[in-house]
A and B are shown apart, each in its own frame.
Chain A
Amino acid sequence: MGYRAKLFLKGSPFETSETDALFLSAMKENCNYQYLHCIEYKKILDGLGITPEAIRSFNQLSDFPVVPTLLFKHHNIFSMSKKRMLIRATSSGTRGKKSEIGFEFSGLLFGASMVYKIAAWRHLLSLRPCNYVIFGYKPHRGNTAAVTKTAYGSTFFAPAIRRKFAILYQDGKYGADIENIVEQIIELSRSMFPVRFMGFPAYTYFALKIMDEKGIHLKLKKGSKIMLGGGWKNHYSEKVDKETFYRLAERVLGIQDIDIIEFFGAVEHPILYCDCRYHHFHIPRYGRALIRDVDTLEPLSYGQVGLLNLLTPMVYATPILSVMTDDLAVLREGETCPCGNKSAYIEIVGRVGLHDIKTCAAGAENLIKEALK
């Protein structure tokens, strides 16, 4: 069994420091593969004068070339034939340029194992059927955005009776239909099964606010949950204060904050980050995070703000083993979270640049405003 397989298939998800050596070996294994099979990655390694053999200890994790996500928007970089890539997913680039990342069968398999384990850890798996309300895009052929796929994928944690989508594809474009979805929620609340919500935080918040303003206050069945994802990037600006959101969810749907689960992930770093009971994103064994100085890119220690660098050996089809996001973040020691998880956690505090760069969630916000006109 290769190092990557051991990392993804064995153990429990938050044995993070325990698997440091394994993680490093899996990274080197992946890096060697990329060196031999990816012309672009070889050029980067050669250009920087790095060889995988020279990386010997876990402290040298920062030596793997950090590839900015922007690079995947400028080049299609693949390390295997298109035939071997099961899917190619695109990021939700609202500014025109999208990254395209390939996933091979084994990588997806390991990913599935990871999702399963993390979902189980957060008590998301259930045999009890439920109804799904997705505050996101209804899948359609032309939409390769990863958020669409993951939102849809999350409807398999528990058997689905019905799936309702808030953003529908009509007349060749996506449009939000909040009024309609509110009616659907009321109808689903009369069902004997729980309801699970999944989607962009901005949408979910908006729908709840409309319901609140209309005086619609429901008590959904036990086991109902709200899952938020695809929009973590706009959280730092705190357009929606999290506490306000939790209170609103309880008032409108009768869902408590323990049943509100937030995810984050990116096409360029497909590790499922899922928040704990205290809404912290602890780092699972499948990935590592480094915070880098905004001027020198040198790695920083706990508590210091810098650029977020995410690492994982999960995928072979595209060299995404160490990517630089455009988020500013802080790393906190696991012990500071009362949930008991010892693994460090990431706090996103901002985004590079002077102005708010529009994310797909912000784009979604515009769609809602349009729908409300």
Chain B
Amino acid sequence: MILEKGRRVEVSRQDDILKRMPEDICITLEQGYIDVEIVVSALDRLSQKIASGAYDHRIAELVSSRADTYKNQAVRMMCRENIEFKVRTELGEDFFAPARTRPPLGESTIQVQPMPLGVLLHIAAGNMDGLPAFSLIEGLLSGNINILKLPQADNGLSIEIIAGLVEIEPRLGDYIYVFDTPSSDIATIKTLSLMADGIVIWGGEAAVSAVRQMAPVGVKLIEWGHKLSFAYISGYEDQDRELQSLADHIIKTDQILCSSCQTIFLDTEDMGEVHRFCERFLPILEESCQKNQSESLGIRADKTLRQHFENINRFLTGNDNSDGAFYQGAGCSLSAQTDSAPELSNMFGHVRVKRLPSKNIVSALRPYKTVLQTAGLICLPEKRESLSLALLRSGVVRVTRGGSMSELFSGEAHDGEYPLRRYVRITNIE
């Protein structure tokens, strides 16, 4: 399915569309960039439409277990207040308004004219429902024409949201193209990238390096790579509640998000403490697992199969943590490990538990600086500030509470940057 000028078009007509796109894009650019206010008001109306239940059926069929959470999140994120807040936070007031420089010492002045990059090609990942639409919306909010390549695993939610948006505001049609071309169709992606001023890539190393190879020289690459997150525990304010909410976070996100907890670090050098933690935490994790069990046999089978694979694979890969141990629970597991590396877990209810004394935070995490994202910090209030700073200095870009690692905070940066800033350029006119 292709979305072109607000119309859904069969894939068989892709070649025609690709042929006329460069000219169509030029015509759109000649007419000027989209007014951000048009985008904001369309999003606000879409938000109301979602709130009124127009998409309930769709959302429920995609994410049956967490439909309500998804719906509320979408409604909140797209309402006028939040969108305006986001634009203001990321770009500042009247970002696109031209201004003249007033340099010191009588140097000559020039007009500063911030502008959208022009055309963004979004190559989206499929690990989070609706993320492709979200990427495109950010492109619109910064005034760009957007070409979106859907991930293969996309379940249709993104195209639904985008089509809904154009239906509400047909003027957006010229600024949105959506393709569900498979990633293997390099020729098409190459053609699309020739039309772009910037390529926004979501995904793992393989996806990013593939795009780097085929991108035309000089095009701006905006990478949102895969990141790794962990929890850090150094004492508790309310142990039961904090461990419970960390467990819920782990189970509810299936640990597939960049912000999902993969490893739990304990502020200790003592492996004995690591083992005691596992014994205490495992039943909490099990309980959360039971509480949040999916109704879909396919999803449950998938998790069981992954765990089974990991259990068998463990015998082959061996365990070089001679002092380590594996704690198997129902539907979840913990492995106690002796090293201090932030590592991807086996996901779907499996977490690594490691020791990391607070004095070693920076030196132990530094080698992983390019992949670190969120640290879910559980600690005594008096330690929060110093531990947060140590974590951030090691390369982490986001420190939250243990249970809210994957929560969305209005106005927050993404992987250390404001996305809208990456989608614009600063031009000058003498």
Chain A contact residues, CB within 8 Å of chain B = 40, 43-44, 46-48, 65-68, 70-71, 74-75, 294-297, 305-307, 324, 326, 328, 350-355, 358, 366, 369, 372-373
A140 and B298 CA atoms in complex are apart in Å by 36
- Which residues of A lie under 8 Å from residue B305 when comparing CB positions? 68, 70, 307, 324, 326, 352
Q: Are B301 and A294 in touch, CB under 8 angstroms?
A: yes
The residue of chain A having its C-beta at the shortest distance from the C-beta of B11 within the complex is: A369
Among A40, A67, A352, A366, max chain B CB count under 10 A is at A352
A296 and B51 CA atoms in complex are apart in Å by 39
Which of these, B296, B313, B315, B330, contacts A74 with CB under 8 Å?
Answer: B313
Which of these, A44, A297, A324, A354, contacts B299 with CB under 8 Å?
Answer: A354
Q: Are A355 and B155 in touch, CB under 8 angstroms?
A: yes
Please, could you name 30 A-B residue pairs with CB atoms under 8 Å apart, sorted by A? A43-B315, A44-B312, A44-B316, A47-B314, A66-B308, A68-B305, A68-B308, A68-B309, A70-B305, A71-B312, A71-B316, A74-B313, A294-B297, A294-B300, A294-B304, A295-B300, A295-B304, A295-B331, A307-B305, A324-B305, A326-B301, A326-B305, A351-B298, A352-B298, A352-B301, A353-B299, A354-B298, A355-B126, A369-B12, A373-B14
Q: Give the secondary structure class of A's interface.
A: mixed
Q: How far is the CB of B7 from chain A (nearest CB, A)?
A: 19
Does chain A have a CB within 8 A of B302?
yes
Does chain A have a CB within 8 A of B27?
no
A307 and B309 CA atoms in complex are apart in Å by 13
Q: How far is the CB of B190 from chain A (nearest CB, A)?
A: 16
Does chain A have a CB within 8 A of B92?
no
Does chain A have a CB within 8 A of B152?
yes
Does chain A have a CB within 8 A of B182?
yes
Q: Are A354 and B12 in touch, CB under 8 angstroms?
A: no
Which of these, A67, A351, A354, contacts B312 with CB under 8 Å?
Answer: A67
- Which residues of B lie under 8 Å from residue A355 when comparing CB positions? 126, 153, 155
Q: Are A71 and B313 in touch, CB under 8 angstroms?
A: yes
Q: Are B309 and A70 in touch, CB under 8 angstroms?
A: yes
Q: Assuming A44-B315, A328-B297, what are 5 further A-B pairs, CB within 8 angstroms? A: A294-B300, A326-B301, A352-B302, A352-B305, A373-B14
- Which residues of A lie under 8 Å from residue B308 when comparing CB positions? 66, 68, 297, 324
**Given known contacts A68-B309, A294-B304, A373-B12, A353 and B298 CB-to-CB distance under 8 angstroms:** yes
The residue of chain B having its C-beta at the shortest distance from the C-beta of A358 within the complex is: B152
Q: Are B302 and A354 in touch, CB under 8 angstroms?
A: yes
Among A296, A350, A354, max chain B CB count under 10 A is at A354
A305 and B300 CA atoms in complex are apart in Å by 12
Interface residues in B264-292 (C-beta closer than 8 Å to A): none
A354 and B297 CA atoms in complex are apart in Å by 9
The residue of chain B having its C-beta at the shortest distance from the C-beta of A306 within the complex is: B301
Q: Are A43 and B316 in touch, CB under 8 angstroms?
A: yes
- Which residues of B lie under 8 Å from residue A67 when comparing CB positions? 312
Among B152, B305, B308, B309, max chain A CB count under 10 A is at B305
Q: Mark B222-259, 1 if CB is under 8 A from A, else 0.
A: 00000000000000000000000000000000000000
Does chain A have a CB within 8 A of B15?
yes
A296 and B314 CA atoms in complex are apart in Å by 19
Which of these, A75, A324, A350, contacts B316 with CB under 8 Å?
Answer: A75
- Which residues of A lie under 8 Å from residue B331 when comparing CB positions? 295
The residue of chain A having its C-beta at the shortest distance from the C-beta of B308 within the complex is: A68
Q: How far is the CB of A329 from chain B (nearest CB, A)?
A: 11
A297 and B311 CA atoms in complex are apart in Å by 13
- Which residues of B lie under 8 Å from residue A71 when comparing CB positions? 309, 312-313, 316
The residue of chain B having its C-beta at the shortest distance from the C-beta of A39 within the complex is: B316
- Which residues of B lie under 8 Å from residue A328 when comparing CB positions? 297-298, 301
Q: Are B302 and A65 in touch, CB under 8 angstroms?
A: no
Q: How far is the CB of A37 from chain B (nearest CB, A)?
A: 16
- Which residues of B lie under 8 Å from residue A350 when comparing CB positions? 297-298
The residue of chain B having its C-beta at the shortest distance from the C-beta of A353 within the complex is: B302
Closest 5 CB pairs of A and B: A47-B315, A294-B301, A352-B302, A352-B301, A68-B309
A307 and B303 CA atoms in complex are apart in Å by 12
Q: Mark B139-176, 1 if CB is under 8 A from A, else 0.
A: 00000000000001101000000000000000000000
Q: Are B15 and A366 in touch, CB under 8 angstroms?
A: no
Q: How far is the CB of A83 from chain B (nearest CB, A)?
A: 24
A48 and B300 CA atoms in complex are apart in Å by 23
Which of these, B14, B300, B304, B316, contacts A40 with CB under 8 Å?
Answer: B316
- Which residues of B lie under 8 Å from residue A65 when comparing CB positions? 312
A48 and B182 CA atoms in complex are apart in Å by 41
The residue of chain B having its C-beta at the shortest distance from the C-beta of A294 within the complex is: B301
- Which residues of B lie under 8 Å from residue A307 when comparing CB positions? 301, 304-305
Among B15, B182, B296, B309, max chain A CB count under 10 A is at B309
Q: How far is the CB of B180 from chain A (nearest CB, A)?
A: 11
Which of these, B297, B313, B315, contacts A305 with CB under 8 Å?
Answer: B297
